Chain A
């Protein structure tokens, strides 16, 4: 059956292949991957200049293991940023979960698995509190999570007043194996998570809210539930980050997570996710997290005084973000 339209709108579009669409629509993601490739090359080059050999298994393993806590936390952060929110509490959540694991976890599969689950639940609960305050109390995400950041930090100090505790060796070998970059398996898991997430109603809801919250509501997206869900994802991923961090350092420190507040946001931005929400991919965030870890190494091998490290990190971030903006502008003009 036909509805018998008499005339059709003027054909104005340039026909594009699936690949072309993907390229144009994922330009910021591609940029992140290109920067990552450049950063790897730079790292290898500087390493070679200093030590007259290429980085080996040990070096790559170390890069992967130091990146993993940030990868997890930043991917969680991405989901919140996509809803046009921000989660500052990830740092406090990492403090809390990493301290908690160091205090309670013992050798033995049961203890490791059980306490890991408890930690993830803590992450989910903490995220849910943020989500409820943002969705129902309609408070600004930055205020809510600034407050909960302090609360989680306080709880972390209570759990582990001074650095210490221990993480069973077996646990370290699984999450942060020092003998090989097996941590990449978890990167694979995260990428798989992302592709599934993109194909769920929840995932579509996250993007819809970031695009236009009012319109999303008008089309039946359960805005509040989706927001709570987004903060829960962030909480759980920050808890994962805390576990990985504990596994890497084999002990707990209730202030160690704080640096991840800003680096997780930086990784999201480097990954090409728009701060206005609704646009971007967590794959880019993964790349962003690795870029930031490599940057530290690059600065080290470039003989830059550690005191000036944050100066150069900031400079790099600005340049990268400018590049991203430029790319968007070019793509839009096409």
Chain B
């Protein structure tokens, strides 16, 4: 823009793009452009308009106003097909695989190899899928398998593979790593770098700053549906300020010291269950106990088993010193346990999306707001008001607004609010910050600290090891359903956790 001569024609541009959803403004005269041969990061809080911009530039949504240009020429996408035909490939935030069609069928959907009879050649379908995976360096995915039988990370890898099937010159990746473990994320980064070397424009979004810093040549910041700035480089602190519009001086708050001699509130001895092979620990009052380890080492299963959502096959759980049986979630709730479990795909467990914020919040405390089984609207209203206030849930009218219409971060807050209302003494937080923007993350950290100050106890797992290291008093590192190591005090950092996670069991 500074000099007309040296500026190359952008690969793709959205100019003054606006788009609203039923009165809610998602994008307001926002502009974005990316060049060939660059990796461009699009950052911002949840609801800042990144995904909307990507959907508009890939032909999924049509803008209310504004222009889209590819290689400097105005284009009008009527559907994703049009965009694909012009070399735009997209991996959306929501997974779009057909669960009951084979991986190969999914890869080539609408682009199946067909013979002279125009019938699909099923054998060739599998062979070509196989070749494509090999070409991209993907191992361990059988093209004849159903996605329903694969892990979320594998499904995400397939989404990426599908977008690359037709060698796009412009590639959008909307939060591609949120479901990936470190190893798969590394694979993706390698792929992105080699695409850049070949001249592809790669645009990606991520809530993990390290990825943005390592990968991006340029960074564009969105806030409240508008573009704030585009920079070649910036520090995390600057980015947070630009994204949130406020300065967060410390990302991780000070954790309150553990009171000396605090009593044990949750004592777990040799707990057995599916993928849980004898876990023992003692959680004390006012403690945040972290659960670390590589993904899929039984952490999720531990949380589910503790909460009674999965059967345990052995071991003992003592709550406040008394042995208890937790056979179903309602047993756990009665004992003062609460769980906030953010499902891997953020949609299926925990919240009832078509129901209101209020109904979702009071679900676990219906006993407290009902008299002889009939809800007391006054009490319910009071509870809801307090929760919305304390968690700063951004909702217009909690009594009617459907949870499904809230942004991701606010949905997570509703999930937490439910257990605050239940006044649970022990809270099981499983990956509650996944896919949440920095501002909300910060709010959640503060809330956690406030909870332990009040004397609650927290069991905390996060797929971001850094969080486990910085927020917890103690960390249990899990491996194959067992506690492989316990790390305490000041020597707990992310490196130490990862080191303990990959170390072989000491004999």
Question: Are A220 and B120 CB-contacts (below 8 A) given A9-B138, A215-B96, A279-B100?
Answer: no
Stretch at the interface among B104-112, B241-249, B328-336, B387-395: B104-112
The reply to whether A8 and B139 contact each other, CB–CB distance below 8 Å, is yes
Q: Is the CB of B98 within 8 A of A212?
A: yes
Q: Which residue of A lies closest to B189 (CB)?
A: A6
Which stretch, A94-102, A153-161, A194-202, touches the partner chain B? Answer: A194-202
A-contacting 9-mer, from B170-178, B180-188, B282-290? B180-188
Residues of A contacting B148 with CB < 8 Å? 332
Given contacts A199-B122, A201-B112, A332-B148, contact A9 B183 (CB under 8 A): yes
A221 in the interface, Cβ–Cβ < 8 Å?
yes
State A9–B153 Cα separation when bound (angstroms).
9
Task: Write the B63-95 contact mask toward A (1 if CB under 8 angstroms, else 0).
Answer: 000000000000000011100100000001000
Cβ of A12 < 8 Å from any Cβ of B?
Answer: yes
Interface residue B318 (Cβ < 8 Å from any Cβ of A): no
A190 to B432, CA, bound (A): 52
| Chain A residues, Cβ within 8 Å of B154 | 9, 12
Bound-state CA distance A279–B102 (Å) is 11
- Residue-wise interface mask of A (272-302) relative to B, using a CB-CB cutoff of 8 A (1 in contact, 0 not): 0010001100000000000000000000000
B506 CB → nearest A CB, Å? 23
Interface pick from B190-198, B213-221, B351-359, B469-477: B190-198
A10 on the interface (CB 8 Å rule)? yes
- Asked if residues B137 and A3 are in contact (CB atoms below 8 Å), the reply is yes
Asked if A219 is an interface residue, CB under 8 A from chain B, the answer is yes
Contact in complex: A212, B153 (CB < 8 Å): no
Chain A residue contacts of B194, Cβ below 8 A: 3-5
B142 CB–A CB distance under 8 Å: yes
Nearest chain A CB to B360's CB is how many angstroms away? Answer: 23
The 8 Å CB contact of A25, one of B110, B146, B153, is B146
Contact A218-B101, Cβ < 8 Å, known A8-B187, A11-B139: no
Given A211-B100, A219-B96, A278-B101, also A18-B144 (CB < 8 A): yes
B60 interface contact, C-beta 8 A: yes
Tell yes or no: B149 within 8 A of A by CB: yes
A2 in contact with B119 (CB, 8 Å): no
Interface secondary structure of A, over-half rule: loop
Q: Which residues of B contact A196 (CB under 8 A)?
A: 119
Contact partner, A207, options B98, B140, B189, Cβ 8 Å: B98
B485 lies within 8 A of chain A by Cβ = no
Closest beta carbon of chain B to A57's beta carbon, Å: 37
Query: A residues within 8 A CB of B186?
Result: 6-7
Q: Residue on B with the closest CB to A278?
A: B100
Report how far A5 CA is from B164 CA in the complex, Å: 14
Chain B residue at minimal CB-CB distance from A17: B144
CB of A16 within 8 A of chain B?
yes
- Which residues of B have CB within 8 Å of A12? 140, 151, 154
Q: Interface digits, B135-160 against A, CB 8 Å rule (1 contact, 0 not)?
A: 11111111011101111011001000
> Would you call A13 and B142 a contact (CB within 8 A)?
yes
In the bound complex, do residue A211 and residue B101 qualify as a contact, i.e. CB atoms below 8 Å apart? yes
Contact with B along A1-38 (1 / 0, CB 8 A): 01111111111110110100100010000000000000
Q: Which residues of B contact A2 (CB under 8 A)?
A: 135, 137
Given A18-B144, A218-B96, A278-B100: A3 and B195 interface contact (C-beta under 8 Å)? yes
A217 to chain B, nearest CB (A): 8
B97 within 8 A of A: yes
B55 closest partner in A (C-beta): A218
User: Does A21 contact B145, Cβ atoms closer than 8 Å?
Assistant: yes
Q: List 6 A-B contacts (CB under 8 A).
A: A5-B190, A9-B138, A12-B140, A201-B112, A207-B98, A218-B60
**Cβ-closest 5 pairs across A and B:** A5-B137, A11-B140, A6-B190, A211-B98, A215-B96
Chain A residues engaging chain B, CB cutoff 8 angstroms: 2-13, 15-16, 18, 21, 25, 196, 199-201, 204, 207-208, 210-212, 214-216, 218-221, 274, 278-279, 332
